Amino acid sequence: MPHPVTPLVLDWASDHLLRIDDVEFYLTVGLDELHAHESRTNHFLLGKTRPMIDAVLALRDTESIRRILDVGIFKGGSAALYTKLFAPEKLVAVEYLPQPVAALAQFIADNDLASRLIPYYGTDQSNAQAMGRILASEFPDRNIDLIVDAFDIGRHYLWRDRWFKPIM
Ligand SMILES: C[S@@+](CC[C@H](N)C(=O)[O-])C[C@H]1O[C@@H](n2cnc3c(N)ncnc32)[C@H](O)[C@@H]1O
């Protein structure tokens, strides 16, 4: 059963610019823009397309997404977006690069999310020991509802009866 999440107003200024409350998401999958466009306070570069967002959004109507693992923080866009879309109990985001994303740190501080949106930088998802430690401490009950994989842009997995089902 879907978790009763608060009503959301998605304001699409264009297929590349989404506003939710006071937060903007600039969507692109173009390599040059991915690198050139920077996140800043309440404005995030999001490495996704509008149809990808529509598909994720549809999950709000059918699933209860309370705990999320997002692999690949990049410039913070997906971690901020999933927080806005699902208001998760916990979202853990993992990134290979060591440098924290200032805009995401600001978003966490401004919205009092320190215990719910937890980024791990300098963490390689192929490092089984590191990932095992993070998962054991953040999700001791092994109850992640949604996993998003950095390598396949847009690859999402839903937890279903002891196996993860690709949904996109
Ligand atoms: C496509 S970007 C993620 C985009 C982001 N999720 C979004 O929607 O805006 C992929 C990210 O994965 C990171 N990455 C690549 N290999 C990784 C690995 N082995 N472990 C963790 N993160 C990795 C890259 O540094 C990059 O920031």
pTM over 0.85: yes
Q: Is 135 helix (H, G, I), strand (E, B) or coil?
A: helix
3-class DSSP state for residue 120? strand
pLDDT by residue (tens digit) across 37-54? 999 999 999 999 999 899
Q: How confident is the model at residue 160 (pLDDT cuts 50, 70, 90)?
A: low
**For tokens 């699933």, what's the residue?**
63
Residues 6+ apart with CB under 8 A from 135: 69, 142, 144
Q: How confident is the model at residue 149 (pLDDT cuts 50, 70, 90)?
A: confident
User: Exposure string (b/e) for 81-110, b if CB count within 10 Å is 16 or more?
Assistant: bbbbbbbbebbbbbbbeeeebebbeebbee
30 is written with which tokens? 């173009």
User: CB of 91 closer than 6 A to ligand 1?
Assistant: no
Banded pLDDT at 164 (limits 50, 70, 90): low
Q: What is the DSSP letter of 107?
A: H
Q: How confident is the model at residue 66 (pLDDT cuts 50, 70, 90)?
A: very high
Q: How far apart are the CA of 1 and the centre of ligand 1, in A? A: 30
φ/ψ (deg, to 5) at 85: -70, -40
The preferred substitution site among 94, 95, 146 for testing ligand 1, maximizing ligand atoms within 8 Å of CB, is: 95
Fold that domain 10-162 belongs to in CATH: Rossmann fold (3.40.50)
CA of 151 to the centre of ligand 1 (A): 7
CA quadruple 37, 13, 92, 101: dihedral, nearest 10: 30
> How would you classify the pairing of strands 17-20 and 23-27?
antiparallel
Looking at residue 126, what is its pLDDT? 85
**Is residue 165 predicted with pLDDT exceeding 60?**
no
What is residue 99's three-state secondary structure? coil
Question: Phi and psi for 84 in degrees, rounded to 5?
Answer: -70, -40
Extended beta strands in 85-161, E state: 90-94, 117-120, 146-149, 155-160
Average pLDDT over residues 84-101: 97
CB atoms near residue 10 (< 10 Å)? 14
Q: What is the pLDDT confidence band of residue 77, given thresholds at 50, 70 and 90?
A: very high
Ligand 1 centre and the CA of 150: distance in Å?
A: 5
* CA-closest candidate to residue 39, choices 86, 92, 95, 90: 95
| Band of residue 162 on the pLDDT scale cut at 50, 70, 90 | very low
How high is the mean pLDDT of the chain? 89
Q: Which is the closest atom of ligand 1 to the Cα of 48?
A: 8
